[in-house]
Amino acid sequence: MKPQERKNIIKEAFGKAAQTYASSSGLQFEVACELAAKIKKTPGRTLDIGTGTGYLAQAIKEKIPEAKLMACDISHEMLKAASAGACGKQVAAFTADCEELPIKDSSFDCVVSSLTYQWSADLTTSMLEAERVLRPGGSFIFSTLGRDTMSELKKAVKAAYRLKGRDNPPHFMGFPSAEEVGDALVAVGFEDIKIEKDLKEVVYKDLWELLKTLKNIGATNPEKHNTGDLSGGSLLREVAKTYARLAPGPDNKGITATYEILKISARCA
């Protein structure tokens, strides 16, 4: 798949989810608030990349009202939702791709981003863009999903496919490891890199609720367009049963999904 095709799939999914995002994004809100708490002082001119409906921008504004904040997202529909809700008119917002920011070099004192970079097809390019728009000594504070995210779902799918005698399970979108994120930051010149891993477990009623939640927040798997997706029929029902057996929730009710959250801070040289 060509990079632009992949971006278009992701952009379309988030655009469709703009009106349902708030009802299903408790984890995203929690992580955004935790990230904002890592900003210890007035950050100067700040850019929020991949703002979505504006959770991180809102959290920063609430903590530091005087913060000079701008926000961007690949989805225009998400930005409209942000302006109508969390961000209001106090944050200037514009449409942009994190791999191609329409911004002059050395424009910001701080770049922040919450749960955006896992969607980037080229992590190093995204890190380079963040470095480019930062002033020397500027701060880069962000979170992304790590490699162990959704490990239960991946195991359940593989096991269910084996039980059904199928040897072609769908290819899951890969998330970067902490080491890969660190390597990308070093490669583009960042210093004082700190990476924190946080495993968050979320309990869902069943597989259907998990899949609905992912759809509601626009979390599509662009790889399914190459390899076939996980959809319908007896096979999906087998995945649901296998998942409930392998990763049950408390008291064997529901299912558990693990999200590996990587929280990173770095300084522009």
User: Is residue 51 domain-resident?
Assistant: yes
User: Is residue 245 domain-resident?
Assistant: no
Say how many CA atoms lie within 13 Å of 223 toward its Cβ: 11
Q: What is the pLDDT of residue 171?
A: 79
User: Is residue 24 domain-resident?
Assistant: yes
Q: What is the pLDDT of residue 227?
A: 46
Q: What is the pLDDT of residue 169?
A: 78
Whole-structure pTM value? 0.93
Distance from first CA to last CA of the chain, Å, rounded? 35
By CB atoms closer than 10 A (0-12, 13-18, 19+), residue 208 is exposed
User: Is residue 209 domain-resident?
Assistant: no
Q: What is the pLDDT of residue 232?
A: 58
Query: Closest by alpha carbon to 62, among 94, 44, 86, 80?
Result: 86
User: Is residue 236 domain-resident?
Assistant: no
Give the total number of structural domains in the chain: 1
| Tokens encoding 73 | 């997202």
The residue whose two tokens read 């632009």 is 4
The residue whose two tokens read 């424009």 is 107
- Is residue 86 within 8 A of residue 58, CB to CB? The reply is yes
Below-70 pLDDT ranges, the chain: 86, 223-232
The values of phi and psi at residue 93, to 5°, are -125, 145
Q: What is the pLDDT of residue 231?
A: 57
User: Is residue 243 domain-resident?
Assistant: no
CATH of the domain at 49: 3.40.50.150
> How many angstroms separate the CA atoms of 49 and 29, rounded?
15
For every residue of 6-63, DSSP letters joined together read HHHHHHHHHHHTTTTHHHH-HHHHHHHHHHHTT--S--SEEEEET-TTTHHHHHHHHH
User: Is residue 225 domain-resident?
Assistant: no
Q: What is the pLDDT of residue 234?
A: 83
In three state form, how does the secondary structure of 73-121 look? ECCHHHHHHHHHCCCCCCCEEEECECCECCCCCCCEEEEEEECCHHHCC
Q: What is the pLDDT of residue 90?
A: 80
Q: What is the span of the domain harbouring residue 127?
A: 3-150+174-202+260-268
Q: What is the CA radius of gyration of the chain?
A: 19
User: Is residue 178 domain-resident?
Assistant: yes
